[in-house]
C-alpha cells in the first residue's frame, strides 16, 4: 500500500528525475562552497486552516529557515507519518498544496518517506521537511554581526498565522477574515541579499516576534528595542487576541521575517520589501541599543518600556 | 520548555560547533562533487526493544540508506515529535543511544527540531532523520548496472530486527535470545567500495529481503534467483516465525545489506565482509538470470522455484 501511495499520490505531483530513481538515497551535484541545512517537524492542529494547510506550511517553513541564513533554497526532503483512517482526499489536497508550494518557492523535492500508524497513534498526519540550500560567498548573516544603531525591520503584520489556526481550532465565527500568512520569503530575501549591512534575518514562527527578538538579543548580547505603535498588527488579529487574552507579539507567523540591518541601508531594505506583495506592510519597528544587553524591550505609546521575556509555557501548542 | 529540552538534553550529547550556533539552519562546507541525501521517519512500536531503541534505529537507518548509494555519511538532522507525558528518562536513554550511534557511524548531527503534542496525539515519540553524504567519483551503484551472472550476497542472518520487535511487542518468553541487528553498515561498505564490479547495494529493512529483491528485480528488469538453503537465518528467528506464521524472508532487518556484484569479485567481497563483525555470517545466496525478468525467485532445497511477490499488506506494521 505504501508503494501505491508513493507511485499514485506523490510521484505524479513531484515529478523530477531525481525522485523517480526511487533509491534509498538521492544524489545531487554541488559546487565547492557552503550549503545550509534545516529540518522542521509540523504537527499543526487542525491540519487545514484558513489560508493553508500542514502541507504548504511544511514546505514554506523549511524554505524560510534556509532563506534566513541567506541561502538560496534548492532541495527538500519530506517524511510523512500518517494515521490510519486519514481521509484519502485530505492527503490529496495536502499533496497538491505541497506541490504548488515547492513550485512557487523554486525548490525540488528529492527524497521522501511515508509511515502509517494505527488509528489513535497519531493525530491525522505529521510532516517533517528537511531543506538544503546554497549560501553565496560573502553572505555571513549572524546575530553576532549586529551593532548598536542597527535598525529592526519586520516584513508585515504579525500574528496572522497563529490567529488563523486558533480561530479554526475553536470554530469561531467573528474571525472569518483572519487568514494564515503562510508563504515563502524567497522574493523578500533575494531582493536585498546583495546589500551590505544586512546583519541577520529570522522568521518569527513559534513564539512569535517577541520570542525571536529574545533569541536574537541573547545571541547578540545587545538590546533590541521596538516601538509598540510601529509594529504592524491587523485589526482582526488584534481583536481576536484581546478576546482570548493573548499577546500578539507572541503569536506565530509563517510568512514574515525580521531583519536587522545597518542604519545606512535600512530605508533601501524597507523600500525593496514594500515593493513586493509579501512585504507591502513592512515597517522599521525599532533599533539596537546597548542599554539592556541580551534583552528585547517594548516601548509603549506613552513612552514606558518593558522587557519582552521568554514565555515559560508555550502560549499556543501545535501552531505549526 | 523546548528551550530547556534542547539546551539540557540534546546539546550536551551532540556537542559540535555547527549545532551550537542554534540558528534556523546550519551551514557546512562542501567540495565540488556529488552528495547523497536520504530521509526516514521512525515510528517503531515499542520504542525500546532487545538490542536497541528508536534512537539508534533512526541514526543507523538513515546512515545505512546513504551507504547503500556508496556515499560516505557525513551529516544528519533529527526531528522529534514527542507525546506529552513521555517519561523524561526514556528520552534521556534514547538521546544517549543516538549520541553513541552517531559517534560509531562517524556522522555529525547538525540540525534538529522538537515538537510536543498532547497526550493521545502520538504514540510516545516519532523521530525523522535526514542524512547527507558524499559520493566519491567513480562510484555509480545502481540496479540498472546489474547483469546476468552477477552474484547476490547478504551480509548476515535475516529477520533479526523484525523478530526482536515482535517478540518485545507481545512480551513473549521463549524468544529472549532474539536481539535486533540495528547497526551501521559503514565498515562493510567502505571495505569493498574500491572494488570494480559492485553493481548496487540495498538494506532490506521494511518488507525484508524478499521485498528488497522484488524492488531490485523490478529496477533491473532481471531475475534475482536465491537459494533457500543459502539464506542465513538464526534458529531462534526461524522458530519465532514458524510459531507466528510469518515468512522470515519478509521480516525487517536493520543492520544487513544485500549486495549485487560481478562474479569476478564475489569471493573477494564475501571474504572482506566475513572478516568484519557485521559481516561474519555473510553468504552468497544466489545469482542474476534472465529467466523471469523483473521478478525474484526462491529455489527450495528440493529444487522447486517460486516467485517472491510483493506482499499487498504490510506483514508487520511499525517495525521501524
Q: What is the phi-psi region of residue B248: left when phi exceeds 0, alpha when psi lies from -120 to 50, beta otherwise?
A: alpha
Q: Can you read off the three cell numbers belonging to residue B5?
A: 529540552
- Most A CBs within 10 Å: which of B4, B25, B311, as the mutation test of the A interface? B25
Residue A13 has pLDDT above 90, yes or no: no
Rounded CA gap, B307 and A313, in Å? 57
Please, is A218 exposed, middle or buried when counting C-beta atoms within 10 Å of its C-beta (0-12, 13-18, 19+)?
middle
What average pLDDT does this structure show over B258-276? 98
Do A26 and B32 count as a contact with CB atoms less than 8 A apart? Answer: no
Cell of A81: 507519518
Give the C-alpha separation, B163 to B180, whole Å.
Answer: 8
Strands (E) located in A195-282: 198-202, 223-227, 258-261
**Measured distance CA(B35)–CA(B136) in Å, rounded:** 9
**Is the CB of A39 less than 8 angstroms away from the CB of B114?**
no
Nearest to A28 among B34, B45, B110 (CB): B34
Q: Which of B84, B128, B250, B258 to mutate to test the interface with A (most CBs of A within 10 A)?
A: B128
* Residues from chain A contacting residue B26 (CB–CB below 8 Å): 36-38
Residue pairs between chains A and B whose CB atoms are closer than 8 Å: 215
What is the pLDDT at residue A1? Answer: 57
pLDDT at A130 over 80: yes
Burial class (CB in 10 A: 0-12, 13-18, 19+), B300: exposed
How far does the CA of residue A41 sit from the closest CA of chain B (Å)?
A: 6
Q: What is the pLDDT of residues A20-34, one digit of tens each?
A: 555 678 899 999 999
Mean pLDDT over B44-68 rounds to 97
| A229 secondary structure, DSSP code | G
pLDDT digits (tens, 9 = 90+) for A301-313: 999 999 999 887 6
- pLDDT recorded at residue B193: 98
The reply to whether A304 touches chain B by the CB within 8 Å rule is no
Contact between B36 and A42 using a beta-carbon 8 Å cutoff: no
Chain B residues 155-214 within an 8 A CB cutoff of chain A: 202-203
Mean pLDDT of B40-53: 96
pLDDT at B128: 98
B113 at the A interface (CB within 8 A)?
yes
Spatial contact of B38 and A25, defined as CB atoms under 8 Å apart: yes
What are the strands, taking DSSP E only, across chain B? Answer: 26-30, 33-42, 48-49, 52-53, 72-83, 108-117, 125-135, 151-154, 198-202, 223-227, 258-261, 283-289, 296-299, 305-307
As a whole number, the mean pLDDT across chain A is: 92
Strands B48-49 and B52-53: antiparallel
* Chain A 75-104, residues with CB within 8 Å of chain B CB atoms: 75, 77-81
Percent of chain B with pLDDT over 90: 84
Question: What percentage of chain A exceeds 70 in pLDDT?
Answer: 92
Identify the pLDDT of residue A18: 60
As a whole number, mean pLDDT of residues B128-155 equals: 97
Q: From CA B131, how far away is CA B194, in angstroms rounded? A: 22
Chain A contacts of B135, Cβ < 8 Å?
A: 27
Q: Which of A121, A313, A314 has its CB closest to that of B123? A: A121
Q: What is the pTM of this model?
A: 0.94
Grid cell digits, residue A245: 487574552
DSSP alpha helix (H) spans, chain B: 2-4, 17-20, 54-67, 88-105, 160-169, 186-192, 208-220, 235-244, 263-274
Residues 6+ apart with CB under 8 A from B171: none
Structural domains of chain B ordered from first start: 2-135 (3.30.1330.10), 143-307 (3.90.650.10)
| Contact (CB<8Å) A313/B68 | no
> How many degrees, rounded to 5, is the angle at CA B150 between CA B147 and CA B154?
130
Residues on chain B touching A142 (C-beta within 8 angstroms): 21, 23
Average pLDDT, stretch A110-119?
93
Of the pLDDT bands very low, low, confident and very high (cuts 50, 70, 90), residue B176 is: low
Report pLDDT digits (tens) over A237-285. Answer: 999 999 888 999 999 999 999 999 999 999 999 999 999 999 999 999 9
Residues of chain B with Cβ-Cβ distance to A23 below 8 Å are 68-69, 142
Q: Kindly state the cell numbers that stand for B234.
A: 538464526
Tell which wins on pLDDT, B311 or A184: A184
Top residue of A23, A73, A125 to mutate, by most chain B CBs within 10 Å, is A23
pLDDT at position B69 over 90: yes
Q: Does residue B41 contact residue A112 with C-beta atoms inside 8 Å?
A: no
Residue B46, preceding peptide bond in cis (omega within 30° of 0): yes
The reply to whether residue B34 touches residue A24, judged by beta carbons under 8 angstroms, is: no
Chain A positions touching B2 (Cβ under 8 A) are 206, 314
Spatial separation of the C-alpha atoms in residues A208 and A237, rounded to whole Å = 13
Query: Burial code of A279-300, b = ≥16 C-beta within 10 A, e = fewer?
Result: bebbbbbbbbeeeeeebbbbbe
What mean pLDDT do residues A222-238 have?
97
Residue A27 in contact with partner chain B when CB distance is under 8 A: yes
Cβ contact B25–A36 (<8 Å): yes
Of the pLDDT bands very low, low, confident and very high (cuts 50, 70, 90), residue B276 is very high
B45 touches chain A (CB under 8 A): yes
**Is-contact A9 A124, C-beta < 8 A?**
no
Record: contact A40-B113, CB cut-off 8 A: yes
* Neighboring chain B residues of A123 at a CB cutoff of 8 Å: 117, 121-122
The answer to whether the CB atoms of A122 and B118 lie below 8 A apart is: no
Q: C-alpha B29: how far from its chain's center?
A: 27
Question: CA torsion sign, A10 to B134 to A202 to A284?
Answer: negative
Whether residue A135 has pLDDT greater than 60: yes
> Does B27 contact chain A (CB < 8 Å)?
yes
Q: Which of A142, A160, A124, A128 is nearest to A238 (CA)?
A: A160
Residue B20: per-residue pLDDT: 59
B41:A128 CB<8 A: yes
Q: Do the chains contact at A130 and B135, CB–CB below 8 Å?
A: no
ipTM: 0.93
pLDDT band at B34 (very low <50, low <70, confident <90, very high): very high
Cell numbers given for B157: 542472518
Q: Looking at residue B17, what is its pLDDT? A: 58
Q: Which residues of B152-172 are buried (b: 16+ CB within 10 A; e: fewer)?
A: bbbbbbbbbbbbbbbbbeeee
Looking at the complex, report in whole angstroms how far the Cα of residue B174 sits from the nearest Cα belonging to chain A.
Answer: 27
Which residue of B6, B39, B125 to mutate against A (max A Cβ within 10 Å)? B39
| A123 to B122: CB separation less than 8 angstroms, yes or no | yes
| Helix B54-67 and helix B88-105, axial crossing angle in degrees, nearest 10 | 30
Q: Is A14 on the interface with B (CB under 8 A)?
A: no
- Cα separation, B24 vs B113, in Å, equals 10
Residues of A in contact with B215 (CB under 8 A): 22
Model pLDDT, residue B13:
79
pLDDT tens per residue, range A148-204: 999 999 999 999 999 999 988 877 665 568 999 999 999 999 999 999 999 999 999
User: What value does the CA radius of gyration of chain A take, rounded to a whole number of Å?
Assistant: 20
A229 touches chain B (CB under 8 A): no
Please answer yes or no on whether B39 and A122 come within 8 Å at the CB atom: no
Give percent of chain B above pLDDT 70.
Answer: 92
Q: What is the pLDDT of residues B5-27, one digit of tens each?
A: 767 777 777 766 566 555 678 89
A312 and B CB contact within 8 Å: yes
Helix (H) / strand (E) element for A99: namely: helix A88-105
Task: Report yes or no: B30 at the A interface, CB cutoff 8 Å.
Answer: yes
Compute φ and ψ for A244, nearest 5 degrees: -90, -5
Amino acid at each position: 500500500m505504501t508503494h501505491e501511495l508513493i507511485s499514485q499520490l506523490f510521484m505524479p505531483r513531484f515529478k523530477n528525475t531525481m525522485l523517480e530513481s526511487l533509491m534509498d538515497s538521492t544524489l545531487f551535484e554541488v559546487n565547492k562552497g557552503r550549503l545550509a541545512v534545516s529540518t522542521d517537524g509540523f504537527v499543526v492542529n487542525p491540519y487545514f486552516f484558513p489560508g493553508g494547510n500542514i502541507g504548504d506550511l511544511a514546505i514554506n517553513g523549511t524554505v524560510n529557515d534556509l532563506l534566513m541564513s541567506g541561502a538560496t533554497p534548492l532541495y527538500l526532503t519530506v517524511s510523512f507519518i500518517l494515521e490510519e483512517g486519514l481521509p484519502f482526499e485530505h492527503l490529496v489536497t495536502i499533496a497538491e498544496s505541497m506541490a504548488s508550494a515547492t513550485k512557487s518557492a523554486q525548490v525540488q523535492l528529492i527524497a521522501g518517506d511515508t509511515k502509517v500508524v494505527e488509528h489513535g497513534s497519531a493525530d491525522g498526519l505529521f510532516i517533517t521537511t528537511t531543506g538544503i540550500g546554497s549560501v553565496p560567498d560573502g553572505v555571513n548573516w549572524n546575530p553576532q554581526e549586529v551593532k548598536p544603531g542597527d535598525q529592526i525591520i519586520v516584513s508585515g503584520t504579525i500574528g496572522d498565522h497563529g490567529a488563523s489556526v486558533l480561530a479554526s481550532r475553536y470554530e469561531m465565527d467573528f474571525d472569518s477574515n483572519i487568514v494564515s500568512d503562510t508563504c515563502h520569503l524567497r522574493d523578500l530575501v533575494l531582493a536585498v541579499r546583495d546589500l551590505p549591512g544586512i546583519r541577520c534575518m529570522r522568521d518569527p514562527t513559534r513564539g512569535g516576534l517577541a520570542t525571536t527578538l529574545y533569541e536574537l538579543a541573547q545571541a547578540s548580547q545587545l538590546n533590541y528595542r521596538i516601538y509598540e505603535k510601529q509594529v504592524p498588527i491587523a485589526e482582526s488579529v488584534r481583536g481576536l487576541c484581546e478576546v482570548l487574552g493573548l499577546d500578539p507579539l507572541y503569536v506565530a507567523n509563517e510568512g514574515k521575517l525580521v531583519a536587522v540591518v545597518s542604519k545606512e541601508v535600512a530605508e533601501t531594505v524597507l523600500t525593496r520589501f514594500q515593493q513586493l506583495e509579501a512585504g507591502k506592510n513592512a515597517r522599521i519597528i525599532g533599533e539596537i541599543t546597548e542599554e539592556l544587553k541580551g534583552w528585547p524591550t517594548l516601548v509603549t505609546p506613552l513612552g514606558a518600556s518593558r522587557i519582552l521575556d521568554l514565555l515559560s509555557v508555550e502560549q499556543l501548542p501545535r501552531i505549526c
